[in-house]
C-alpha cells in the first residue's frame, strides 16, 4: 500500500511546468530590477553627507574651522551653490538615461535579452563602484563624478525595456494589472534596500554606499547570464494569450486588443470568431510604435508623473534633513516610507484597473488625489512623527501608483496591441518610448528642484502639484473613451434586462 504524499509535495506538484517557469521568471526579473534601483538610490542618501552642517560634527584635532565652517564637507560640494552641483549630478544620470532609453528599446528587440541584460547590469555595477571609489581615491572633481553618472545612466537603460519585454512574453493580459502591480514593487524595494545599505555606510565611509550596491548589481548580472529564459517557446512552455475572449464582449475599452475581423457597430462589437495571430520576427519601427493608440498620451502623462516621483527619489532625504533636522542616516531611513507607500499604491492601481478595465481612469483619479496630498505634506507633514509617517505613506502610494501602472501593465498592453497582429517584439520599443519620455520628466524634476529649492521648499511642491495636474490633462481623451465604453455596456445591460 502506497503512503500518501506529504502536503508540501502535493502543493509543489499541483502547479504545472508552465506555472513554475512563469513564477521563476517573475522572481528573477524582480531581482534584476530591484538591483537596478538599488544602485540608483545611494546618491540621494549621500548628498546630505557631502554637504552638511559642520558645526554639529566633532572637529578632529588640527582642523581649523573657517568662517563658513565647511571643513567637514566634500569638495567641490562645500560651496554655497551645492544644490546646483547636486542637480548637475542628478541630471548627468537622468538626461543620459532619457536619451539612451529611446535607443535601448531598439537594441533590446534585436539582441538576445539575456546577453543585453547581463551586460547592462555588470557595466552598471562597474560605474556605480567607480563613483564610490572617488572617496578612497580622494577625487574632488565634479567632472569625474558627472562622467560616471552619464555612463551609468546610459548602461542602466538596458534594464527596463528588457525586463518588461521578458515579463510580457511570459504573461498574458488576464490579471496583468495585479501581477505587474505586485511585480513592480521591485522599484520601491530597490529604493528601500538602496537607502538602508547606503545609510549603513554614509556616516563612516560614503564610498561604500556605492561600492556595495555596485557589487550587488554585478552579481545579479552574472545570475541573469546563467538563468534567464527570454520566451516560453525556448523551454517548450505554452505562450500566453494576450487577447482574451472576454474582450469581444466589451465596448471600446482603452487598450482593447480586438482580433482581426471584429467590427464596431453602434458602439458594440460583433461576435466573430477570434483569429489566431502568430509572432512576427520583424521588429517594429519607432514610428510604427508611436502610431499605436494610447502610446503618445500615456508617454506624455508619464513625463509629468515621473517628474514628481524622481524629484522625491533624489531630493526627499535632503528635504527631510533640512526641514525635520534629521541626520543623513535618519533622513534616508525615513524616506523609505515613501517607497513603502509606493508598493501599496502600485498594487492597488493594478487591482482597480483590472477590475474596471480603466487604466487611464485609475491613473487620473490617483493623480488628482495626489495634488492636495502633496500640499498637505509640505504644510503639516513635519509636525510630529506620526503625521510624517502617515503623509509619506499616503503621498508615496498616490504618486507612485500611476507611475507603476503606466510603466508596467499599460506598456505591456500597448506592446501587445491588436494592431501589431501578434508581433510581441514591439514590447521593448513601446516600453522604451513610454519610459524614455517619462525619463525626460525624471531629468527635469530634480533639475528644477535644485534651481527652485533655494527660494523655498514650498515652491518646489507647487511645481510638483502643477506637474500632477498636467499629467491628468494628457489622459483626458482616454478617460472620456473609457467612460463612454462603460456607459455603452451599462445601456446594453439594461436593454437586455428589459427584454
Handedness of CA 388, 390, 394, 400 (dihedral sign): positive
| CB count in 10 Å sphere of residue 308 | 30
Task: Give the angle 323-324-327 at the CA atoms, nearest 5°.
Answer: 110
Query: For residue 440, what pLDDT is reported?
Result: 87
Report domain extents, the chain.
16-53+79-230+285-498
Q: Which residue has the higher pLDDT, 496 or 89?
A: 89
Query: For residue 278, what pLDDT is reported?
Result: 44
Q: How far apart are CA 42 and CA 215, in angstroms?
A: 13
Q: How far apart are CA 209 and CA 193, in angstroms?
A: 11
The domain made up of 16-53+79-230+285-498 has a fold known as Growth Hormone; Chain: A; (1.20.1250)
Confidence band (pLDDT; 50, 70, 90) for 264? very low
Query: Average per-residue pLDDT in the chain?
Result: 79
Backbone angles phi, psi at 42, to 5 degrees: -55, -35
CB 6 within 8 A of CB 95: no
Q: How far apart are CA 375 and CA 284, in angstroms?
A: 42
> Residue range 243-261: average pLDDT?
42
Kindly tell me if the per-residue pLDDT of 75 is higher than 60: yes
* Overall pTM > 0.85: no
Which 3-state string (H, E, C) describes 186-239? HHHHHHHHHHHHHHHHCCCCCCHHHHHHHHHHHHHHHHHHHHCCCCHHHHCCCC
Q: Count Cα atoms within 13 angstroms, Cβ side, for 124.
A: 31
Confidence band (pLDDT; 50, 70, 90) for 90? confident
Query: For residue 498, what pLDDT is reported?
Result: 56
CB 32 within 8 A of CB 243: no
Amino acid at each position: 500500500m502506497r503512503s500518501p504524499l506529504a502536503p508540501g509535495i502535493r502543493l509543489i506538484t499541483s502547479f504545472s511546468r508552465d506555472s513554475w517557469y512563469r513564477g521563476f521568471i517573475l522572481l528573477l526579473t524582480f531581482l534584476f530590477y530591484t538591483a537596478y534601483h538599488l544602485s540608483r538610490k545611494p546618491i540621494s542618501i549621500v548628498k546630505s553627507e557631502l554637504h552638511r552642517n559642520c558645526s554639529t560634527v566633532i572637529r578632529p584635532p588640527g582642523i581649523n574651522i573657517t568662517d563658513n565652517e565647511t571643513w567637514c564637507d566634500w569638495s567641490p560640494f562645500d560651496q554655497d551653490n551645492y544644490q546646483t552641483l547636486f542637480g548637475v549630478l542628478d541630471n548627468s544620470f537622468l538626461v543620459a538615461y532619457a536619451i539612451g532609453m529611446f535607443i535601448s528599446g531598439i537594441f533590446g528587440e534585436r539582441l538576445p535579452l539575456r546577453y543585453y541584460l547581463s551586460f547592462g547590469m555588470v557595466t552598471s555595477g562597474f560605474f556605480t563602484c567607480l563613483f564610490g571609489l572617488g572617496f578612497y581615491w580622494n577625487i574632488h572633481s565634479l567632472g569625474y563624478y558627472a562622467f560616471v553618472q552619464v555612463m551609468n545612466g546610459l548602461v542602466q537603460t538596458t534594464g527596463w525595456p528588457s525586463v518588461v519585454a521578458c515579463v510580457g512574453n511570459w504573461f498574458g493580459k488576464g490579471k496583468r494589472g495585479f501581477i505587474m502591480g505586485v511585480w513592480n514593487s521591485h522599484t520601491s524595494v530597490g529604493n528601500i534596500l538602496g537607502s538602508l545599505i547606503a545609510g549603513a555606510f554614509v556616516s563612516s565611509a560614503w564610498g561604500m554606499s556605492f561600492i556595495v550596491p555596485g557589487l550587488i548589481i554585478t552579481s545579479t548580472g552574472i545570475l541573469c547570464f546563467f538563468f534567464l529564459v527570454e520566451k516560453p517557446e525556448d523551454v517548450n512552455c505554452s505562450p500566453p494569450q494576450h487577447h482574451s475572449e472576454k474582450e469581444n464582449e466589451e465596448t471600446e475599452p482603452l487598450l482593447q486588443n480586438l482580433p482581426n475581423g471584429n467590427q464596431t457597430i453602434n458602439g458594440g462589437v460583433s461576435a466573430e470568431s477570434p483569429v489566431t495571430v502568430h509572432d512576427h520576427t520583424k521588429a517594429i519601427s519607432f514610428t510604427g510604435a508611436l502610431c499605436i493608440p494610447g502610446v503618445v498620451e500615456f508617454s506624455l502623462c508619464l513625463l509629468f508623473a515621473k517628474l514628481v516621483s524622481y524629484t522625491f527619489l533624489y531630493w526627499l532625504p535632503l528635504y527631510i534633513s533640512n526641514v525635520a533636522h534629521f541626520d543623513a542616516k535618519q533622513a534616508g531611513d525615513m524616506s523609505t516610507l515613501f517607497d513603502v507607500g509606493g508598493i501599496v499604491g502600485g498594487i492597488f492601481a493594478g487591482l482597480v484597473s483590472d477590475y474596471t478595465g480603466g487604466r487611464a481612469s485609475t491613473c487620473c483619479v490617483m493623480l488628482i488625489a495626489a495634488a492636495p496630498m502633496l500640499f498637505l505634506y509640505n504644510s503639516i507633514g513635519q509636525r510630529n512623527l506620526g503625521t510624517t509617517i502617515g503623509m509619506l505613506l499616503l503621498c508615496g502610494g498616490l504618486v507612485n501608483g500611476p507611475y507603476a501602472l503606466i510603466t508596467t501593465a499599460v506598456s505591456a498592453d500597448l506592446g501587445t496591441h491588436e494592431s501589431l497582429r501578434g508581433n510581441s517584439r514591439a514590447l521593448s520599443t513601446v516600453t522604451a518610448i513610454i519610459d524614455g519620455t517619462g525619463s525626460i520628466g525624471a531629468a527635469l524634476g530634480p533639475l528644477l528642484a535644485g534651481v527652485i529649492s533655494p527660494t523655498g521648499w514650498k515652491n518646489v511642491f507647487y511645481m510638483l502639484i502643477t506637474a500632477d495636474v498636467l499629467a491628468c490633462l494628457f489622459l483626458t481623451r482616454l478617460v472620456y473613451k473609457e467612460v463612454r465604453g462603460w456607459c455603452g455596456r451599462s445601456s446594453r445591460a439594461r436593454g437586455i434586462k428589459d427584454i
